[in-house]
Amino acid sequence: MDRRNFIKTGAAGTVGLTLAGAMTHLPIYGATVKGANDKIVLALIGCGGRGLGCIINCCKINSNVVIKTVCDVNRSKLSNAAAHVEKYLGYKPVLAEDMRTVFDDRDVDAVWIATPEHWHCLAGIWACQAGKDVYVEKNLSVNIRESRKLAEAAAKYDRIVQVGLQNRSASQGFSAREYIQSGKLGKIVAVNTYFMLGEGKFTEAPEAPVPAWLDWDKWLGPAPYRPFSPSIVSESGRGGWQQYWAYSGGKLDDEASHTLDFTRMVLGDPQHPKSVFAWGANNAYGSNSEVPETQFVAWDFGDYLLTAEGGTSFNYMYKAPQEIRNDATKFPNWRNYSARVDIYGTEGLMYLGRHGGGWQVIGADNKIVAEDGAIFPDNEHQKNFIECIRSRKRPNGFIEECHRSATLVNIGNIACRVGNKQLYFDGKTELFTNSKEANKLAKGTYRKGYELPEKV
């Protein structure tokens, strides 16, 4: 059945009748408050390491939450996902190779979207239109317009959309925000974030026939057609899709999306910046990747400058080890910590960690004047999603704010892609005022059959 027709008939037959016949953007089904004993049925779209691990964990730490379907265009990962669900949860899920069959399934309350980034928003919009709640991984989008459209769809269809930026549920984020709002850090004058990793050279492998385990056309989905290369997709691992602008936004997207969103959160979620300057180059190893090996970005927020510094050639910098992530009493060695935020106030310098690690404030004479420890909040974020599906309250990873955070990533990358420039940004129209080329990238392009709807 056509998906849109199904939505119409589904609305007439379910909660619509009792809820409010007069509401024009009526939740289709599953939008009533659910009790703790009501079962919540999930489906996973994108069965890579991230999605599979999270959704199984989510079912373990929440009661009455089950996975009905696992969906992937990689048949090897699909059967691997089914085996994992059976092993860890004790039942066999339904297998699907086309996400549209998941949206058409009335049993499914919510979908967990953990595909590469170029699919996140379109899949999220389709899910909202079909009346599903959504957990969608970061980075939310590969351009500005598509996450704006997903935010519109979430509002229009009254859906719970939780973006997978776990630090939105981090206790140290709430306490850091309170500390800053209390004025104890003084006036904020500068904020530096880091995404420094040591990953080495990327070399694209030549084109190859599409392997039997992959539906390449559906993997590409909305992205422009190009021949398959084993550099992009791997049968069992992640592959190199994050090296391409069409599917991702490089390390700024993969790594800095977390620190930038966390920064916005603790600063009280500021509106869009006035301008962005970015510089990127393959200046370390001479990779032939589209995304740069080294990238520096500066966003002008008027009262302060926010920067992100990083790339792949910083092998003396480290993400937090597990003992820091899982122990609220331990703090990282800030100087070598590759996923940190430094917030400079007139009264102190706050170091904030994104992988647990908590925060510490350094005052005059190098003294620690305040601190709060924390563990990495994956569980909290997954619990918050399920609680919000039940209560219909706004989730911590609220789409509107996460769209603004994703916009920092997207405009930072666009400023590199148009030639390492400074671009002026109009926060109301979400377009640039000094570059037509940049505005094309802000809107993206979509393949026939996978168009981004103008009206969601």
Ligand X SMILES: NC(=O)c1ccc[n+]([C@@H]2O[C@H](COP(=O)([O-])OP(=O)(O)OC[C@H]3O[C@@H](n4cnc5c(N)ncnc54)[C@H](O)[C@@H]3O)[C@@H](O)[C@H]2O)c1
Shortest distance, position 141 Cβ to ligand X, whole Å = 10
216/285 with CB nearer ligand X: 216
Indicate whether 47 belongs to the interface with ligand X (CB under 6 A).
yes
Indicate whether 164 belongs to the interface with ligand X (CB under 6 A).
yes
- Give yes or no for a contact between 350 and 185, defined as CB atoms under 8 angstroms apart: yes
Indicate whether 31 belongs to the interface with ligand X (CB under 6 A).
no
Identify which range of 28-36, 46-54, 168-176, 437-445 contacts ligand X by CB under 6 A: 46-54
Give the number of other CB atoms < 10 A from CB of residue 33. 10
Give the number of other CB atoms < 10 A from CB of residue 310. 26
Indicate whether 75 belongs to the interface with ligand X (CB under 6 A).
no
Indicate whether 50 belongs to the interface with ligand X (CB under 6 A).
yes
Best CA proximity match to 195, nearest among 371, 48, 413: 413
71/130 with CB nearer ligand X: 71
- 226 dihedral zone (left: phi>0; alpha: psi -120 to 50; beta): beta
- Strands laid side by side in the 368-372 sheet: 368-372, 359-362, 349-353, 340-345, 188-196, 305-311, 294-300, 275-281, 422-426, 431-432
Shortest distance, position 104 Cβ to ligand X, whole Å = 14
**Rounded Cα distance, 31 and 28, in Å:** 7
Indicate whether 311 belongs to the interface with ligand X (CB under 6 A).
no
Identify which range of 66-74, 282-290, 313-321, 360-368 contacts ligand X by CB under 6 A: 66-74
Q: At what angle do helices 436-443 and 144-156 cross, to 10 degrees?
A: 40
Query: Among 58, 99, 266, 352, which residue interacts with ligand X (rule: CB under 6 A)?
Result: 99
Shortest distance, position 119 Cβ to ligand X, whole Å = 5
Indicate whether 136 belongs to the interface with ligand X (CB under 6 A).
no
Binding mask 202-221 for ligand X (x = CB under 6 A): ----------------xx-x
Q: At a CB cut-off of 8 Å and minimum separation 6, what does 290 contact?
A: 243, 244, 245, 250
Binding mask 238-257 for ligand X (x = CB under 6 A): xx--------------x---
Number of shown-chain residues binding ligand X (CB under 6 A): 28
**Rounded Cα distance, 285 and 291, in Å:** 13
Report how far Cα 384 is from the mean position of its chain's Cα atoms. Answer: 16
Residue nearest to ligand X (CB): 48
Q: Which chain residues interact with ligand X by CB under 6 A?
A: 45-51, 71-74, 77, 99, 114-117, 119, 137-138, 164, 166, 218-219, 221, 238-239, 254
